[in-house]
Chains A and B, each alone.
Chain A
Amino acid sequence: MEHGTQNSDPVVSNRTMEIVVAGLFALVAIVVMADSVRVGNGWGSDGPKAGYFPFYVGLIMLVSSLATLAVNIWRHSGERTAFVEKHQLALVLQVLVPSAVFVALTAFLGIYLSAVLFIAFFMHWVGKYPLKTILPVAILVPAGLFVMFEIWFLVPLPKGPVETMFGF
């Protein structure tokens, strides 16, 4: 195998992931078709009903996902190749988890303050930067965005209690 580095335990194999994703596609397809049947997938008094087109979209998706599913169930060659290895997953989560927290914080603190916290945390945690590097970046980037969007382009972004305090 190519990925012969340390900690390269596969978390999940490519084949499993193919089957899971194809299965999810089939599920989405069924939801699409069911909802199309609900709103009507046939011919109404004034032409095609709302579900006419999406029904076939769902049908094509179902057939194609089942084909992918079948190919992967019968074929065993992909069994051993890893979809993601342990250390890779750890790195991906290193970005994904803080990003998710940032998005959640945006709902409460507004986008600017959340951005300051997110950038500062990430630089400290992943980049191990000293405070004198972190502070200018974490403050100037959101400040720059503020000037660009709120002042130049007059596009309002989500703001929180701190911005309200300053009268924005």
Chain B
Amino acid sequence: MPEREGNLEALGSLIHGFGVLADPMNIAYMFIGITLGVLIGVLPGLGGANGVAILLPLTFSMSPTSAIIMLSCIYWGALFGGAITSVLFNIPGEPWSVATTFDGHPMAQKGHAGEALTAAFTSSFFGAFVAVLLITFLAPVIAGFALRFGPAEFFAVQLLTFCSFVGMGSESPFKVLCAMMLGFALAAVGLDSVTGELRMTFGSVELLRGFDFLIAVIGLFGIGEILLTMEEGLAFKGKSAKINAKVVWETWKSLPRYWVTAIRGSIVGCWMGITPGGATPASFMSYGLAKRFSKNRQNFGNGEVEGVVAPETAAHAAGTSALLPMLTLGIPGSPTAAVLLGGLLIWGLQPGPLLFVEQKEFVWGLIASMYLGNIAGLIVVLTTVPVFASILRIPFSIIAPVIVVICAVGAYTVHNAFLDIVMMLVFGVVGYVFKKLSYPLAPLVLALVLGDMAESSFRQAMLVSQGDLAIFWSNPLVGSIVTLALVMLFWPVISALLRKRQSRQDGGTEVIPVK
């Protein structure tokens, strides 16, 4: 039974990983990381990716294991923190908590903020826990498997990610494609690393650097969000959160009712985190599914607990499982995972299948910290919400300029470039217009993040086959991934055809609604 042996080996390695965490300093870093992360998640525009990037230099003096524990805990904290602003202020601190605002904020408006937050944190924890279990048992298997991957397989995985945006998005597929291609085009700006050729710089030295996804994220989500909030007429009032042991206990008692939603959310999240669709689309997809299958469908958007559970489990499961492809394949599943990958490279660790062979202690220390970090996170957020909420219960005419300033600081620190602050503002206006016309922002950002990587794996694959696209069907593995990607891409057409056929089969008989 090789599978059983594999699982036992994973458990053994995990126990060893917990041993790494026995160092009290590592536990301290864990709590510092969580607290910083919640703060970062709470402040709009100072996202997880940005926060990790800014704090990366702080960790250079630590051992790689301690450093990654602290950085990943900032990441967990940011995932938790996003929910606080979504529920209390209707402003998602992070793009993946946008879907949480749909029901979380109405709950807060009705005076159920404590319940909404408890539900959000608990489901976040649940989603993360499922994802960590998945990582524990799947990562070693995938790492072993991925040792055989070539550029065509890597490109196929990325293609699948992008095609699932088109097939699964609620927006017009053409708009999804436009936004995504804009991301790829922006990613291509600057020096082409293969040929050394300058692309789309039009003689500008500033454009040589290309467009950084962090600037785009800060502008699109930070500034764009402020403009949208402002447009709604300064209706930016925070709701107070009374969280005490009684509210937490009462909410916990009611949560097992949503076990189906939570498990479905975790599955969607894990899938989107690994593919790597990321936490943002995962949260939307899970929300959409919960709405479709819920008995209280009409109550969604008016403060339904299920509408909080669904996006939060998915977002946290995706955010956590995004580290699986990063560790095993070297493909970051999310923008923040991309920054963490940058950190690994700085410490001289090469992410990818070999990491599990060569850096056992590091990998299993990190995985063990995911278990403890999420428990620590749950404790920290449940006890400190009133503190964070009171920082934020400040009128919009004070917080708006402060957020703009923090966004500007964040944009500047990415490359120490003034032009980036200007670009941030431009992206803000773009974000505002896109939001209003329902052009999706997530595929744009992800294309910007993965653009270079997708292009280089595509070019390498083409180089291997001398330009023959048949390489993408050259073996069953790559062939099935690419075929699945194409099914996803044309899903809007396929589902329309299926519906047509279905209605023709029904052949004129009147459809009687089933009660």
Which residues of A line the B interface, CB within 8 A? Answer: 14, 17-18, 21-22, 25, 28-29, 31-32, 35-36, 39-40, 43-44, 47-54, 57-58, 60-61, 64-65, 67-68, 71, 83-84, 87-88, 91-92, 94-96, 98-100, 102-103, 106-107, 111, 115, 118-119, 122-123, 126-127, 129, 137, 141-142, 145, 149, 153-158
Known contacts: A52-B459, A57-B181. The answer to whether A43 contacts B467 by CB under 8 A is yes
Q: Do A48 and B409 touch across chains, with their CB atoms under 8 A apart? A: no
What residues of A have a CB within 8 angstroms of the CB of B428 in the complex?
Answer: 96, 99
Q: Do B459 and A103 touch across chains, with their CB atoms under 8 A apart? A: no
Interface presence of B408 (CB below 8 A):
yes
Interface centre among B175, B177, B401, B405 (most CB of A within 10 A): B401
Interface Cβ pair total, 8 Å cutoff: 182
The A contact surface, by secondary structure, is: helix
Interface centre among B55, B174, B188, B459 (most CB of A within 10 A): B174
Interface presence of B422 (CB below 8 A):
yes
Could you pull out 27 A-B pairs where Cβ atoms are within 8 angstroms? A28-B182, A29-B181, A35-B200, A47-B463, A53-B458, A57-B184, A57-B185, A64-B173, A64-B178, A65-B178, A68-B178, A92-B432, A96-B429, A99-B401, A99-B404, A99-B425, A102-B404, A103-B422, A115-B401, A122-B401, A123-B397, A141-B402, A141-B405, A145-B405, A149-B413, A153-B57, A158-B418
**Could you say which of B199, B400, B402, B462 contacts A95, with CB atoms under 8 Å apart?**
B400
What residues of B have a CB within 8 angstroms of the CB of A95 in the complex?
Answer: 226-227, 230, 400, 404
Q: What separation, in Å, do the CA atoms of A4 and B199 have in the docked complex?
A: 49
Interface centre among A52, A57, A137 (most CB of B within 10 A): A57
Chain A binder among B3-11, B190-198, B382-390: B190-198
Which residues of B line the A interface, CB within 8 A? Answer: 54-55, 57-58, 172-175, 177-178, 181-182, 184-185, 188, 192, 194-195, 197-200, 202, 223, 226-227, 230-231, 233-234, 395, 397-398, 400-402, 404-406, 408-409, 412-413, 416, 418, 421-422, 425, 428-429, 432-433, 436-437, 439, 455, 458-459, 462-463, 467
What residues of A have a CB within 8 angstroms of the CB of B234 in the complex?
Answer: 91, 126
